[in-house]
């Protein structure tokens, strides 16, 4: 939604990729910290230490994921981006922010670097109107965490949606007062939500097959289990362990990856990638740090195949939308053409308004 190209070009598919020798947690291996006994506090400290090494990275949630990943494997992973989405040289293809900066088009982004993204609407609400910019980008991320925790149709989420609706109305009127109807309004979300009906424990699945999940280099993110088997035997064992789950999902083979524009030049996101389909997701560990609950069992999830209608985002505009199924790659071309700017040839999307 920022580059106008699919993951097979910008190479950011999952947040965490396996890049041995290049990880914010490399210090764990260098100091042999993986051989110490660990508890939730030492792990939390190591996680915070690793991320503060590249502290400009605001895109990295995930202590819950690392909590369950063996410490000796941490030093093999790093995030697919190191920095904020508005930074230069973040990905192999420029973001819409870089393109506009390069072309000297004044713009501003609000809410995207809020300390707590779940409360980014507060930054949007506080921001004054600035007639000196050609594009104002409001980033509002309050809804997703509420949907995970309470459900998309829950009282809590619907109440917040009403608040945000009102916030957008106020902002819209500021533009209307300044520009009449001579401005383009584009509201988009990047994914939908689906109700979770079953949480599956991956460690238990392995134990039932007579295996131990921690023996294998792996990474579990919500409904994906990604593996990097070191030998043909390991590969076989992983497949055996996952056999009971095959009816609930599938392996994302190279062919399937190509169909969804996520094929990569190497195996950084996994050699063997198992996808668990809705309405299921993998169980995440629940624990607290200093009395603060670090995780909860999500009642709603995303990350399922885009073929599911429930995964659709929304697109709203004050201009007619000229596409029956707009995609996220259409966002940058739409923004550029709205600003009267040429759209780069290499972009996979097209302007939809």
> 144 vs 283, which CB is nearer to Zn ion?
144
Query: Interface mask (CB under 5 A) for Zn ion, residues 176-215, using x and -?
Result: ----------------------------------------
Number of residues that bind Zn ion (CB under 5 A): 1
Give the chain as a 3 state SS string. Answer: CCCCCCHHHHCCCCCEEECCCCCCCHHHHHCCHHHCCCCHHHHHHHHHHHHHHCCCCCCCCCHHHHHCCCHHHHCCEEECCCCCCCCCCCCCCCCHHHHHHHCCCCEEEECCCCCCHHHHHHHHHHCCCCCCCCEEEECCCCHHHHHHHHCCCCHHHHHHHHHHHHHHHHHHHHHHHHHCCCCCCEEECCCCCEECCEEECHHHHHHHCCCCHHHCCEEEECCEEEECCCCHHHHHHHHHHHHHHHHHEEECCHHHHHHCCCCCCCCCCCCEEEEECCCEEECCCCCEECCEECCCCCCEECCCCCCCHHHCCCEEECCCCCCCCCCHHHHHHHHHHHCCCCCCCCCCCCCCC
Of 28 and 276, which CB lies nearer to Zn ion in the complex structure?
276
Residue nearest to Zn ion as judged by C-beta position: 144
Beta carbon nearer to Zn ion, 98 or 144: 144
Among residues 144 and 348, whose Cβ is nearest to Zn ion?
144
Q: How far is the CB of 144 from Zn ion (least distance, A)?
A: 4
List binders of Zn ion among 140-159 (CB under 5 A): 144
For position 234 contacting Zn ion by CB under 5 A, the verdict is no
Q: Which is nearer to Zn ion, 10 or 302 (CB)?
A: 302
The smaller minimum CB distance to Zn ion, of residues 9 and 191, is found at 191
Give the x-and-dash track for 116-145 against Zn ion (CB under 5 A).
Answer: ----------------------------x-
Shortest reach from residue 298's CB to Zn ion, in Å: 8
List interacting residues with Zn ion (CB under 5 A). 144
């Amino acid at each position: 939604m920022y580059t106008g190209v699919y993951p097979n070009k910008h190479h950011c598919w999952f947040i965490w990729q396996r890049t041995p020798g290049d990880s914010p947690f490399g210090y764990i291996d260098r100091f042999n910290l993986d051989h110490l006994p660990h508890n939730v506090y030492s792990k939390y400290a190591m996680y915070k230490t690793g991320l503060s090494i590249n502290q400009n990275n605001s895109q990295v949630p995930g202590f819950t994921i690392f909590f369950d990943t063996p410490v000796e494997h941490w030093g093999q992973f790093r995030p697919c981006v190191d920095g904020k989405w508005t930074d230069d040289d973040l990905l192999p293809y420029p973001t819409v922010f870089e393109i506009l900066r390069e072309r000297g088009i004044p713009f501003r982004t609000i809410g995207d670097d809020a300390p707590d993204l779940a409360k980014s609407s507060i930054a949007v609400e506080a921001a004054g109107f600035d007639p000196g910019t050609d594009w104002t980008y409001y980033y509002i991320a309050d809804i997703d965490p509420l949907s995970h925790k309470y459900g998309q149709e829950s009282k809590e989420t619907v109440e917040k949606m009403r608040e945000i609706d009102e916030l957008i109305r106020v902002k819209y009127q500021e533009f209307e007062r300044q520009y009449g109807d001579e401005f383009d309004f584009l509201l988009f979300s990047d994914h939908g939500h689906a109700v979770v009906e079953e949480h599956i424990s991956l460690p238990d699945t392995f134990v039932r097959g007579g295996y131990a999940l921690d023996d294998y280099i792996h990474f579990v993110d919500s409904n994906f289990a990604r593996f990097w088997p070191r030998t043909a035997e390991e590969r076989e064992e992983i497949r055996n362990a996952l056999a009971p789950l095959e009816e609930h999902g599938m392996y994302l083979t190279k062919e399937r990856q190509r169909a969804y524009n996520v094929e990569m030049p190497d195996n950084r996101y996994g050699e063997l990638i198992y996808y668990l389909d809705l309405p299921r997701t993998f169980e995440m560990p629940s624990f607290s740090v200093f009395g603060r609950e670090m995780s909860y069992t999500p009642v709603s999830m995303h990350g399922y195949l885009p073929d599911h209608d429930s995964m659709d985002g929304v697109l709203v505009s004050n201009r007619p939308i000229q596409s029956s199924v707009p995609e996220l790659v259409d966002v940058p071309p739409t923004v550029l053409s709205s600003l009267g700017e040429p759209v780069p040839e290499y972009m996979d999307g097209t302007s939809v308004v």
